[in-house]
Amino acid sequence: MLAARMVDGDTPLDRAMARFATGEDAALAEVYDLGSPAVFTFLQRLCRDKPLAEDLTQETFLHIHRARGLYRPGAPVLPWAYTIARRLFLDSVRSRRSEVQEGHASDAERLSPHDVVGESRSAEDLLADAELTQAVDDALAQIPEAQASAFRLLKGEGLSIAEVAAVMGTSKGAVKLRAHRAYVALRGLLGKRVERNGP
Amino acid sequence: MSILERPSANARDRFLQAAASQTASRPRAWLLRILLAGFGALAWLVAMLLVLGIRPDWNDLPMPGLATTIVTLLAAALLASVIGLARGRSMVGNTTEALSIVAGVTPILLLLLVTVVDARGPSTLANLAPMPHAWPCGLLVVLVALPLLGIGRFVLRGLVLSRPGLAGACLGLAAATWAHLLLRVHCPIGGPGHAVLGHLLPLLPLMALGAWAARRR
């Protein structure tokens, strides 16, 4: 499944959150089901550690749960969730820096059996996607976190520049610059990989 | 667009169990907070005004200068409060641009105000050495502003802000400007030197304190 393009307050996730915020407790599971794949994928690519990504996803949605009375109806939920997730990730890096540096998930772990992928795709397509994702993830791990996050949120998660600026707490110009730097770095790193592997 | 992965079913169950054991804030908690904070801030300012009293030269002050000062301070305090306390379009506070403009431009406008507009009447204390009288006023600004800063922090509790430092600086600016407004109504000392040192300058440590406190939340 592709990440849904976020339109202000008009996605099923935003509507579920609006119901939860007005007191419908049962909508929390729907909020989690609709929002956790995007947040979990984002976190997994950031920290490259599946159990940690699951823990941080849980913390992200627990935070949203606790703050439900603060939710402004109509606000897009995913940029909010990404901001919380990124903050939790950075906190976890600070407190467990050495663990995170050594905690790269294995190749098998990175492609979860719970992938939300259309069943009609061929095994070759899946393999090619997985290899490309792996190569991009490896390359993104080598560049500064701020650049990698800007690139992931813009190109990977499909957020607008304004939304990424909100998530990262920076200006729109800085987001463009970071994404451009990430793009240039990726082109260099992936280019080297192509040269090494041959055409 | 990326291919999304779901957390495991176990993780989902763990989340729902953990959520059931925690208390979610009540619906409309934000509105309640804003009302409580507004009422608390107003009550504090009125109480301080009653304690400190209105300046003795109030009735002698020229109306245009007094009105300009009061209205500008009121507008600056309201603007900084609203921008600093906003949840923002994406629930992560205001944009970097809005916060930066308010935190950067408002102090300069206030500096212009207090140096250009100096409302004084015949009984206003003037031509005093600024420093000895600036200290008590500066201390009073800080003492009046600190509870207001605490109230701002209470409003933002539980929100993850994308620029906590800038939002906190805006709250410090708002608290300092409310206190500055109160001091303008209380303090009978005229002159731009006193206004800058005693009434305006304390906003810098208060902005720094607000930024520090918001980042530590």
Which of B15, B25, B89 is facing A32, going by the closest CB pair?
A: B15
A48: Cβ contacts below 8 Å, ≥ 6 apart: A103, A104, A105, A110, A137, A141
Chain B residues contacting A via beta carbons under 8 Å: 1-8, 11-12, 14-16, 18-19, 22-30, 32-33, 87-92, 95-97, 158-163
The boundaries of the domain holding residue A30 are 1-106
- What is the band of B57 on the pLDDT scale with cuts at 50, 70, 90? confident
Give the pLDDT confidence score for residue B206 in this predicted structure.
Answer: 97
What does residue B189 show for φ and ψ, rounded to 5 degrees? -90, 125
- pLDDT computed for residue B168 by the predictor: 95
Please state the domain extents for chain B.
27-215
Task: Enter the ipTM.
Answer: 0.77
Helices (H), A27-75: 27-47, 50-66
Closest CA to B118 of B191, B196, B193: B191
> What is the structure's pLDDT at A6?
42
Q: How far apart are CA A176 and CA B42, in angstroms?
A: 43
Sorted by sequence, the CB contacts under 8 Å of residue B75 that are 6+ apart come out as: none
Q: Collapsing DSSP states into helix, strand and coil, what is residue A8?
A: coil
Q: Are residue A5 and residue A75 in the same domain, yes or no? A: yes
Of B78 and A23, the structure prediction assigns the larger pLDDT to B78
d(CA A76, CA A63): 16
Which of A84, A106, A128 is where one domain is finished?
A106
Mean pLDDT of B169-183: 96
Binned average pLDDT, 10 residues per bin, chain A of 199 residues: 47 90 89 92 83 92 91 87 88 68 43 37 55 73 81 77 79 86 82 60
Dihedrals phi, psi of B166, to nearest 5 degrees: -70, -40
CB B29 within 8 A of CB B90: no
Residues A15 and A76 in one domain: yes
Looking at the fold, whether A124 and A187 belong to one and the same domain comes out as yes
Based on the fold, state whether residues A89 and A127 are members of the same structural domain.
no
Query: Could you give phi then psi for residue B128, rounded to 5 degrees?
Result: -95, 155
In a domain, A112, yes or no: no
Non-local CB neighbours of A3 within 8 Å, separated by 6+ positions = A38, A156, A157, A158, B1, B2, B4
pLDDT, residue A109, reads 39
Location of structure tokens 């304390």: B202
Contacts of B32 in chain A (CB under 8 A): 69
Residue B78 has pLDDT above 80, yes or no: yes
Q: Are residues A16 and A86 in the same domain?
A: yes
Contact assessment for residue A140 and residue B14, using Cβ atoms and an 8 Å cutoff: no
A and B: number of Cβ contacts within 8 A: 164
CATH number at residue A160: 1.10.10.10
Pair (A1, A81) in one structural domain: yes
| Same domain assignment for residues A94 and A12 | yes
Q: How many domains does chain A have?
A: 2
What pLDDT score was predicted for residue B145? Answer: 97
Instruction: Kindly report, residue by residue over B100-155, the tens digit of the pLDDT.
Output: 999 999 999 999 999 988 777 776 777 766 667 788 999 999 999 999 999 999 99
pLDDT tens-digit readout, B4-56: 788 888 889 999 999 988 888 887 889 999 999 999 999 999 999 999 999 88
- Determine the pLDDT at residue B130: 65
The span from the CA of B182 to the CA of A199, in Å, is 74
Q: What is the pLDDT of residue A3?
A: 39
Q: Which residues of B77-91 are buried (b: 16+ CB within 10 A; e: fewer)?
A: bebbbebbbbbbbbb
Q: Decide if A115 is inside a domain.
A: no
C-alpha A77: how far from chain center: 13
B180 to chain A, closest Cα gap in Å: 30
Whether A86 is covered by a domain: the verdict is yes
What pLDDT does residue A166 have?
76
Nearest neighbour of A116 by CB, restricted to B5, B25, B88: B5
In terms of Cα–Cα distance, which of A107, A115, A178 is closest to A138? A107
What single-letter amino acid sits at B33?
A: R
At B75 the pLDDT is 96
Quick one: pLDDT band at residue B76, thresholds 50, 70, 90? very high
Last residue of a domain, one of A62, A81, A106: A106
Q: Which of B77, B204, B207, B197 is nearest to B138 (CA)?
A: B197
Q: Kindly report the pTM of this predicted structure.
A: 0.75
Give per-residue pLDDT as tens, A152-193.
Answer: 788 777 777 887 887 777 888 888 888 888 888 888 877 766
The per-residue pLDDT for A36 is 92
Shortest distance, CA B169 to any CA of chain A (angstroms): 15
Q: What is the pLDDT of residue A100?
A: 46
- Residue A195: predicted pLDDT: 62
Q: Which residues of B touch A53 (CB under 8 A)?
A: 7
DSSP one-letter string for B132-182? HHHHHHHHHHHHHHHHHHHHHHHHHTT---SSHHHHHHHHHHHHHHHHHHH
Chain B nearest CA to A49, separation (Å): 12
